[in-house]
Structure 1
Amino acid sequence: MGKGGSISDEEWERFLRESEAGVEGAPKEPSARARMVARRLREEPGRPDAWRAHEPPRRRAGKARYVVGLVVAAGLLVVALNPGRVTGWFGGGDGGGGGAPLAAESKQPDQAPPSDGAGQPPTLAQPFRGSPAARWANGTAGIGMPAAKATGWMSKAQVAQALARSRDFLAEADLDPGVLRGDRPKQAIALINPRQRDVQDQLAAAFRAPSRKNDPLLLFSRFDPAKVRLVGHDVRTRGRITYREGERGAVEVTADVTFVYPVVSAKAGSDDVVRTIVRREIVMSWDDPAKVNTVSGTFSLLSYKSDTTNGGCGTAYTGYFTPDFGTGGAGPSGGPTLDPYDRSKAVGTGRPHGHDTTCGTATRS
């Protein structure tokens, strides 16, 4: 008997075998749970084929420098998949096709999620199958929020509002259906201090003429609807928002969130589902208008970093993620490696020293 009186599946399998063999003392009428386990074992499919061995090249992004003097690093990575160890045949495990949803993240994890189920490719019906995102929450539900308390120049209620608006920015920048289809993220931009002129100028340039320095993908998730279509309505997320007192009594909010986008080619009849995975770390300063030239209800952008898997890797800056739907690309060799689901390490871990725009390889997608 396990913890809390539960019985493992292995014990139930032994029970069923003994029942069928007529072992003395075995119950004549199995319980409802026993019948459920027996049916599941009979219907369990065979071992799935291994997922394709490689994912094609990915995109890199540039950096921008803001008036606050902090360098903004944005590295986009390449995917070259290694076939995962196929375990968790009953859909359990952090990376399988099912199991109970994970509780919201409240602190940085100390290890990467397991690779259970990694041999199962995504499908139109199950676009998150074979990845840890199968158990992640959808949209803002996957973003852990801290309790608000009076900090710096803000009261408890004001801090709660700043936290909610910080989450709103993430929703408008990386989850809004129109923005994901390539629309300009007007509502997200409206939350950025309009008096932070260098930031506003770079945002305007990014949408007018995307480049390595001025790239909308550094802050916003966008796909070209003529080439890419999102699968379903879910964007799985995992991460958290934290805050502290910053300079001049400001409330400095840090968002560290991973977004998983399942996509297919926009061509009619396409069913080759791949995933674009973006982890963003954004630092926002909610400043005291009495001390900083800001507009009430907006934040000043202090810094951001991002790692992106299967968003494109090259020198063509289009302002859209460009996932590769091919199956034969292996990506460049010798670059840094990344597990896009490993949130135990800092964003940008593994990039060569001094390089903030580096293509590399990812261990899974």
Structure 2
Amino acid sequence: MACVIIPCAALGGTGAGIESQRGAALSRGAGTDDGSSVSDEEWERFLRDSVNGVPDAPKEPSARARMVTRRLQEQPQQAVPWRAHTPGRARRFRVWHVFVLVAAVALLVVAFLPGSLAGWFGGDGPQAGGGGGRGTVEEPFRGSPAAQWEDGVRGISVPNAKAVGWMSAAQVEQALDRTRDFLVAANLDADTLRGKRPDKAIASVNPRQEDTARYLRKAFLTPDAQNDPLLLFSRFDPEKVRLAGDVVKVRGQLRLREGPRGAVEVASDVTYVYPVRRANPDSREVERTIVRREVVASWDDPAKVRTAPGTFSLLSYKVDMTNGGCGVNLTGYFAPEFGTRAGGDGPDTDPYDRQKPVTDGGADGSCGNATRS
């Protein structure tokens, strides 16, 4: 590229003045119709006058200014707003940093509170992996999904009352409350858990339901496989086992439906987690007995069914238990095992998986293997 060398005296200023002047020309040229900084005619006149030494000839721009001018002329014109920015990239940057922050917090929780995340995701579904940790006297639910569950009766959710069958909404609300009270008396009452006869719970059952009345008479006197109080009540032998603390973790719900002859049926599906230790006051080893019960109570229309006021008939009751005693238990008490236990001959089972139905298996003495405790 040819260069024109012009003495400074001919230009009437220093090199700094050259760039400054060229900048002013660019500003004036921005208003021309074709968008260029300097027209071809002006540029030719500039060269001619410069060679001839015309005193008022415009100053020649520096090589850097010419290069910038040529680059600007070659680029397409775009309207760029003042302080323009691209928010999409910034948003991705911020979202990524939020993700990193959440992941870091999760890793810290896992590191310092092992097993605590299990209750967030695995309490009602199949196990994602791992068997959890062992409880202690100070933390009896450590390593268990139940650590995130509610305490006691607060873990039983009750639907909104509405008119069903022969009952008004107010009567249905009372039936829901009394069904929940029965579950508490049968599975959470301190005397019941210590092995006493659950008289308060029994008083809620229709005494004119002959098969159930017969079961309740025999279960506490001469328990057997068909008349086992553990089918309906949670009990521990106080001479062998006691609760590790005063808290039982609970998760479950009641559901409403209309039954035959306009009866109001309240179906319950509730899991109870009992932390237990040996009755020896010096024992500090903690295990957990997990009991899931499905009970259906029928609040019958007294005009159509013989029933005592304020009582319900038992339509069905099923139970799944983990570490409550393997084999046919004829003692009438849960018999949890402590220490290392041999595996059972049945399938692997996750006692915290509440998505599967309660089965009728186990009555023949077969035992499965719990994947979590």
TM-score (norm 1): 0.70
Task: Summarize the alignment of residues 238-277 of structure 1 with structure 2, pairs less than 5 Å apart.
Answer: 238-277=251-290
Q: 1:331 aligns to what?
A: 343
Q: Does 1:361 align with 2:365?
A: no
Q: List structure 1 segments (4+ residues) > 6 angstroms apart after TM superposition.
A: 4-7
Task: Summarize the alignment of residues 1-365 of structure 1 with structure 2, pairs less than 5 Å apart.
Answer: 8=98, 10-11=100-101, 88-91=110-113, 95=117, 111-112=125-126, 114=128, 118-327=131-340, 329-333=341-345, 335-348=346-359, 351=361, 358-365=366-373
The separation in 1 between residues aligned to 2:273 and 2:96, in whole angstroms, is 34
Quote how far apart the aligned CAs of 1:9 are: 8.3
Retained in 1: the 8 A contact 2:344–2:366? no
Q: Deviations along 1:90-111, whole A, 9 cap, x unmatched?
A: 4387655x87xx9xx9xxx5x3
Quote how far apart the aligned CAs of 1:331 are: 2.6
Quote how far apart the aligned CAs of 1:358 are: 3.7
Q: 1:25 aligns to what?
A: none
Quote how far apart the aligned CAs of 1:314 are: 2.3
Gap change, CA 1:95 and 1:221, over 3 Å in 2: farther
Q: Secondary structure at the match of 1:281?
A: strand
Retained in 2: the 8 A contact 1:94–1:113? no
Q: Secondary structure at the match of 1:147?
A: coil
Quote how far apart the aligned CAs of 1:88 are: 2.3
Q: Deviations along 1:71-90, whole A, 9 cap, x unmatched?
A: xxxxxxxxxxxxxxxx9224
What fraction of aligned residue pairs are identical, expressed as a percent? 56
Gap change, CA 1:92 and 1:141, over 3 Å in 2: farther
Q: Deviations along 1:38-95, whole A, 9 cap, x unmatched?
A: xx99xx7xxxxxxxxxxxxxxxxxxxxxxxxxxxxxxxxxxxxxxxxxx922438765
Structure having the larger proportion of residues in helix: 2
Q: Secondary structure at the match of 2:220?
A: helix
Q: Deviations along 1:244-295, whole A, 9 cap, x unmatched?
A: 0001000011000000000000113101100000000001100000000001
Q: Secondary structure at the match of 1:280?
A: strand
The structure whose RCO (Cα within 8 Å, separation 6+) is larger is: 1
Quote how far apart the aligned CAs of 1:359 are: 2.0
Quote how far apart the aligned CAs of 1:113 are: 5.7
Letter in 2 for 1:206: A
Q: Secondary structure at the match of 2:111?
A: coil
Letter in 1 for 2:201: A
Quote how far apart the aligned CAs of 1:357 are: 5.8
Retained in 2: the 8 A contact 1:310–1:324? yes
The separation in 2 between residues aligned to 1:8 and 1:91, in whole angstroms, is 22
Gap change, CA 1:290 and 1:260, over 3 Å in 2: same
Structure 1 unmatched ranges of 5 or more? 15-36, 45-86
Retained in 2: the 8 A contact 1:191–1:299? yes
The separation in 2 between residues aligned to 1:223 and 1:113, in whole angstroms, is 28
Q: Over aligned residue pairs, what C-alpha RMSD do you find?
A: 2.9
Gap change, CA 1:235 and 1:13, over 3 Å in 2: closer
The separation in 1 between residues aligned to 2:350 and 2:241, in whole angstroms, is 24
Gap change, CA 1:304 and 1:152, over 3 Å in 2: same
Structure 2 unmatched ranges of 5 or more? 1-90
Q: Secondary structure at the match of 2:200?
A: helix
The separation in 2 between residues aligned to 1:13 and 1:189, in whole angstroms, is 51
The separation in 2 between residues aligned to 1:181 and 1:361, in whole angstroms, is 27
Q: Secondary structure at the match of 1:208?
A: coil
Retained in 1: the 8 A contact 2:182–2:204? yes
Quote how far apart the aligned CAs of 1:316 are: 4.1
The separation in 2 between residues aligned to 1:313 and 1:92, in whole angstroms, is 29
The separation in 1 between residues aligned to 2:276 and 2:195, in whole angstroms, is 14
